[in-house]
Structure 1
Amino acid sequence: MPIRPVSLSLQRLGIFLSAWALALAVVLPVSAADEGTATAETENIKVEPLPESRIQDGRIMPADVPGNEVFANGDPEKGRQLYEDGVTADGEPIRATTKGDISVTGTQFSCVNCHRPSGMGSSEGGNYVPPITGSHVFNKRVLNRELRNERFKEFYKESQPKSFWVELRQPRLRPAYTNETLARAIRAGVAPTGRELASIMPRYELSDRDVANLIAYMRTISIEDDPGVGEEKIHLATIVSDNTDPTLRDAFLKTVNIFAEWTNKDLGSQIARPNFSPYYRSEFIDSFKLWEMHTWRLEGPRDTWPEQLEAYYAEQPVFAVVSGLVKGAWKPVGDFCDAKRLPCVFPNTTLPRIEDAEGNYTLYFSRGLQLEGEVLSRFLAKGDTAPETILQLRADSASGRTPADAFVQAAARDLPNAEVETRGFATGEEVEVAIAKAAADAGDIDTLVIWPGDHAEAAVEALNRHAPDIATIVLPSPAFEVAREKVDPALHDRVRLTFPYEKPSGYHPRSFRVRAWMRSRGLPLPDWRMQYQTYYALTMLQFGFEHLLTDYHRDYLIEIIEHEAENELNPGTHPNLALGPGQRFASKGAHVIALDAEARKGHKAVSGWIVP
């Protein structure tokens, strides 16, 4: 079965159940639990008393908060703008007060920063931010399995200070919010029970219209499962194109399908025995769904891919796309996923869609070849002697133009005194001619950079034949395997490669477990890095579902992965993988390596980890 994260297991749930029952007995009378009132309501540890002027007939009724009818007809789209962008209906930035007397304004304190796009809340820095989805806010909060499960992740899968656990154990029972009481919470920081909300919660200075708009939008947030979720199954897809190497494509699909098969064996055995509950798993059995894995095969010209993807999605919507293997730029797939608000979890690509990636729906390992172009510029600038004349040879394709353009832009900043010339080529024969000419002009060139695209083998063979007498010759990481196998050892001391992966001396214990998992299932390993990356994407999805429980919202899945990407699931492909809110590139830098037949794995790092 797939290797599960072991940071905090379900074994501790039994302790949790007992502690929860004890906490209930201490802080909440039975009648309060039955009626759903919130005598123990609190959003922080220290509660300040309310001024007497705020209490009328035993209720908290601020004079500036009108009745429900004022907030009944808001514009959800304007509310989304306020929630996500921190902009009022008049186009002005929001204003608020936090921590009692700190005035703030602008997008830094928009709702989405803490409560997240899904409305499911978050936990950072020892602070718990509760969910504010439509189903959470507009229903009363009572002590039941849903409330317990809602906080399972925070209790048992995160490292938090003791003060956080004390706060989290408060039941926060309350009646359902009305428009009026929600307006009071937004403006004055007062819960329906009259208790003060946490001081970190901003008190917003909003007009009646803005409050109405925000409430209208909150009624739409994560109110039902997203497409692709069935009663017993969750539909998932992976994407391949017909122009990829058949051997790699076959190994990729076998990795995906065997992982899904073993995941279903594990889930199926638990679902089949609901009364056999080691580690209290029966408490979560209603959240278990079998994986129905679909393979979306893209064929023919790239401009037909969007239509093919639409057809696949129309036939069977999926909840998420996991990994993927296509030749060329990922942009057509990324555009489709963003349009459908469909999570796409760590595809194998060196050409991610960079523009508007942040905050959207595709999570990438790195910026790929664009990153390599920028790292190379920084590496050359930090050398003992900065180059003066640099010749770039680039393929007339995205894998040639993308890093070449990135290098030119970065060199203008990092190497202002260097002269950079770029020459293009379209075929293997043309790269041969270009390298031969570079060898003839070697006296005028101190650095040769080659972005060969699909012509890496032709480029390496041309280098061997012409052996240009140039101090530094650079190739990108996609040419690594060909270079390691075929570059003439006489050129090893001059050839360098940009390498956005872990260096040979890096040590990741999980890599051994992943390799054992693959070998024990008879998987071919023609490209272990690609398959390890695929395994990582699959385990992140599996781990995300363990956190989702019954809240099958796509935005929430992405938020969980953002929060957990740096967990100990990295199989050793990169030094570190981590995401923050809205970030879409998990690895931020690269090494520069040299070929060395005597070194472990045939290469060694000649730079530190460079983050441009």
Structure 2
Amino acid sequence: MALALAPQLTAWALILVGAACAAPRVLLAQPVTAAASQAMSPTSPVHNRPASVGWSQGIPAQDPDLVAWGRKIYLEGRRPNGEWVRGMRYGNVQASGEAVACVMCHRRSGLGAVEGTLQISPISGRYLFDQDARAVVNMNLRVRKAFNQRHAPYTFETLAQALRSGVHVSGTELNPVMPRFELSDHDVQGISAYLRQLSASWSPGVTQDRIRFATVITPDVAAERKKTFLETLQAVIRQKNSNFVPGQRTMSSAAEMVLKTQRVWDLDVWELKGPASTWNDQLTAFYRERPVFALISGLGGDTWEPIHDFSERTGLPCWFPSVTAAPDQAEDGFYNIYFSRGVMLDADVLGRHLRTLQAQAQPTRRLIQIVGPELAHRRAAQALSTALQGSGITVEQHPLGADTQGMLGGMKADEAVMFWLSTPQLETLAKWPVPKGAVFFSARLTGGEAAAYPTAWTTQLQLVYPYELPQKRQAGLLYFKQWLSTRKLALVDEILQSEVYFALDYLNDTVVDMLDNLHRDYLLERAENMLSLREASRAEDQARDWISPRQQAVHSGEPLRALPYGTPSARMPRPQAHRGESYSSMTKRESTTIYPRLSLAQGQRQASKGGYIARFTNPTAGNIDVTAQTDWIVP
């Protein structure tokens, strides 16, 4: 099949798109909740791409009623009058409604997806009807040279034939997973109109040369923590932009080089003030003054719910903020991606652990929860109470106060206490006796092993630990710490700073992979598809990099030419292995973060899904280590 490429792309034709098979292959995806179409504020400016070649004849004009008709079919598998769309799959299997909605496979953006070796083709107007030379999608996350196949433009007639009979515009048969729909001419016109405008223009915040982001900071964040956050965030963006020099672009693929899609990043800092009830109005004003493509990272204290709701309502992606607790509705949304559920996950991890002990004849008769003053503390305590319903464990909740000391002193050996406290409240415990039963803390709330736990408590306390164990995770954080050193930034808060670094590093990889398809929905779709593959590949590359003597010399500053292959670098020590762990096993990681593994699937919005129960070892000898008492617990 001839490739419809602009002259400047001709030389790269075989590299970019020439290896695809003749017929697009479609794989059924999991259903997603029907929602609004590609979100974009109607008052926001839209930055259009350079003009492309005209549309095919026979495709209806952009009639709002037709677009609305097609949107309903595309997203929900039903018509605006309530009738379900029906289709036949695999020859004899009839399905209807959400089961045959286009969004299931082709996603909200219309730019398709990859499932294993099967490619779900892009079907937005630029790809289906147009001859736009910049319409290029990377269709294989493992191979950067596997791009979408070019084909002749669809007309109304050929599109109708594809939808009803499963015949590609080239005359070949589409994958049988693609439904053969029962559609009227009006239905086909509506789908045509909707696809024509789907992902047709860059989302707000994007221009030919720049892309604007914002980060949000809530007013209850401590000043020192905010300072550390902003220094790390801004350093990453400065470095990213320093690699962008007009005429001397640093590219990661031939497609990026030909299309010249690299852009300078601009960052706005949206610092909120006052009570949470006023945050929506503040966010609306920030966005109205200067629209952004996405909210990146972010730093929250007691609550993040108003920011979450604003993002869902406006269709503005919020990308891996550092927050104590994700909102309860996080998993039902689309535009917010979190590292984890926060303390709500901690509660479920501890609940699962206590239930396991019950089943192993190590019962806990009563659990006392000592709850701090913050909303996140109360939400976590309630979540743990819910997790233990029907377990046989009596659960109580008590605020941290004057009667706490007497309550702890009266505990029995078959009772346990969970402290939902942050670092400032730990000082209170120093003058109190250590309870006789099991003692648990949330490492997320206290700051992990670096917190100032009372010395007398360290031999008994256990941590609900949502991170990789400290020494084990050092292999994954080597590049991050080397970056801090290069940028002359102090390691003040390993958890926070590494989260910020990862969020922007992964964002950069995702935006690069998007090429010229800078649409908000597509950003989130690529995030789902890329995360686990990207992390496994990056961890392997970094491990290989650090055990290479010549590469160690580059990072250590030794002259490369002075170091023969096979000679280890004396200046770049290998990362310290965890007790009982070989160095070779230490390099076999799936993560470049403080988390053991991050992954997303379609519709998932929390990347880390478990935690350890851990405790200190050798605290009296001053050589404190954190050791897992359980396997990784996924509630």
- TM-score norm. by structure 2 comes to 0.77
Picking from 67, 73, 76, the partner of 1:85 is: 76
Picking from 574, 581, 592, the partner of 1:571 is: 592
The amino acid of 1:224's aligned partner reads S
Picking from 446, 468, 490, the partner of 2:415 is: 446
Give the whole-Å Cα distance in 2 for the aligned partners of 1:486 and 1:288.
45
Moved more, 532-541 or 381-390: 381-390
Residue 42 in structure 1 maps to residue 16 in structure 2? no
* CA offset digits 1:156-189 (Å, max 9, x no partner): x4269xxxx9xx68944213x2333222211211
Residue 224 in structure 1 maps to residue 182 in structure 2? no
Picking from 352, 367, 388, the partner of 1:378 is: 352
* CA offset digits 1:250-302 (Å, max 9, x no partner): 1211111111111111122xx2337x999757734531110011111112222
1:251·1:523 contact (CA, 8 Å) conserved in 2? no
Alpha carbons of 1:284 and 1:520: their partners in 2 closer, same or farther (altered >3 Å)? same
Alpha carbons of 1:591 and 1:240: their partners in 2 closer, same or farther (altered >3 Å)? same
Match of 1:607 in 2: 630
1:236·1:320 contact (CA, 8 Å) conserved in 2? yes
Give the whole-Å Cα distance in 1 for the aligned partners of 2:613 and 2:70.
48
Which residues in structure 2 correspond to 1:420-439 (within 5 Å)? 420-423=395-398, 425=399, 431-439=400-408
Alpha carbons of 1:380 and 1:225: their partners in 2 closer, same or farther (altered >3 Å)? same
Give the whole-Å Cα distance in 1 for the aligned partners of 2:63 and 2:266.
42
Measured after TM superposition, the shift of residue 603 of structure 1 is 1.9
Match of 1:103 in 2: 94
Residue 300 in structure 1 maps to residue 300 in structure 2? no
The amino acid of 2:264's aligned partner reads L
The amino acid of 1:506's aligned partner reads K
Residue 588 in structure 1 maps to residue 609 in structure 2? yes
Give the whole-Å Cα distance in 1 for the aligned partners of 2:196 and 2:87.
22
Give the whole-Å Cα distance in 2 for the aligned partners of 1:320 and 1:247.
25
Match of 1:59 in 2: none
Give the whole-Å Cα distance in 1 for the aligned partners of 2:300 and 2:327.
13
Measured after TM superposition, the shift of residue 396 of structure 1 is 4.2
1:83·1:110 contact (CA, 8 Å) conserved in 2? yes
Q: For the aligned residues, what is the CA RMSD?
A: 3.2
Give the whole-Å Cα distance in 2 for the aligned partners of 1:610 and 1:441.
31
Picking from 79, 98, 111, the partner of 1:120 is: 111
Picking from 487, 512, 532, the partner of 2:498 is: 532
Q: Which structure: greater helix fraction? A: 1
Moved more, 112-121 or 588-597: 588-597
Give the whole-Å Cα distance in 2 for the aligned partners of 1:169 and 1:443.
65
Match of 1:173 in 2: 151
Picking from 237, 256, 259, the partner of 2:233 is: 256
* CA offset digits 1:561-595 (Å, max 9, x no partner): 11111212543310100111121100111111112
Measured after TM superposition, the shift of residue 444 of structure 1 is 8.9
Give the whole-Å Cα distance in 1 for the aligned partners of 2:274 and 2:200.
39
Residue 158 in structure 1 maps to residue 142 in structure 2? yes
**Number of residue pairs the alignment of both structures matches:** 536
Match of 2:552 in 1: none
The amino acid of 2:24's aligned partner reads E
Measured after TM superposition, the shift of residue 376 of structure 1 is 0.7
Measured after TM superposition, the shift of residue 508 of structure 1 is 5.8
Give the whole-Å Cα distance in 2 for the aligned partners of 1:342 and 1:203.
34
2:498·2:594 contact (CA, 8 Å) conserved in 1? yes
Give the whole-Å Cα distance in 2 for the aligned partners of 1:485 and 1:125.
44
1:83·1:112 contact (CA, 8 Å) conserved in 2? yes
2:25·2:119 contact (CA, 8 Å) conserved in 1? no
Match of 2:376 in 1: 399
Measured after TM superposition, the shift of residue 108 of structure 1 is 3.6
Give the whole-Å Cα distance in 1 for the aligned partners of 2:626 and 2:22.
60
Measured after TM superposition, the shift of residue 241 of structure 1 is 2.8
The amino acid of 2:606's aligned partner reads F
Match of 2:42 in 1: none
Match of 1:36 in 2: none
The amino acid of 1:296's aligned partner reads W
Measured after TM superposition, the shift of residue 112 of structure 1 is 1.1
Give the whole-Å Cα distance in 2 for the aligned partners of 1:529 and 1:388.
34
The amino acid of 2:604's aligned partner reads Q
2:336·2:605 contact (CA, 8 Å) conserved in 1? yes
Alpha carbons of 1:183 and 1:289: their partners in 2 closer, same or farther (altered >3 Å)? same
Give the whole-Å Cα distance in 2 for the aligned partners of 1:41 and 1:483.
57
2:151·2:169 contact (CA, 8 Å) conserved in 1? no
Give the whole-Å Cα distance in 2 for the aligned partners of 1:585 and 1:321.
16
Which residues in structure 2 correspond to 1:193-592 (within 5 Å)? 193-268=170-245, 271-273=246-248, 280=254, 283-284=257-258, 286-383=260-357, 384=360, 385-413=362-390, 415=391, 417-423=392-398, 425=399, 431-443=400-412, 446-452=415-421, 454=422, 456-458=423-425, 460-481=426-447, 485-507=451-473, 509-566=475-532, 567-568=534-535, 569=538, 570-592=591-613
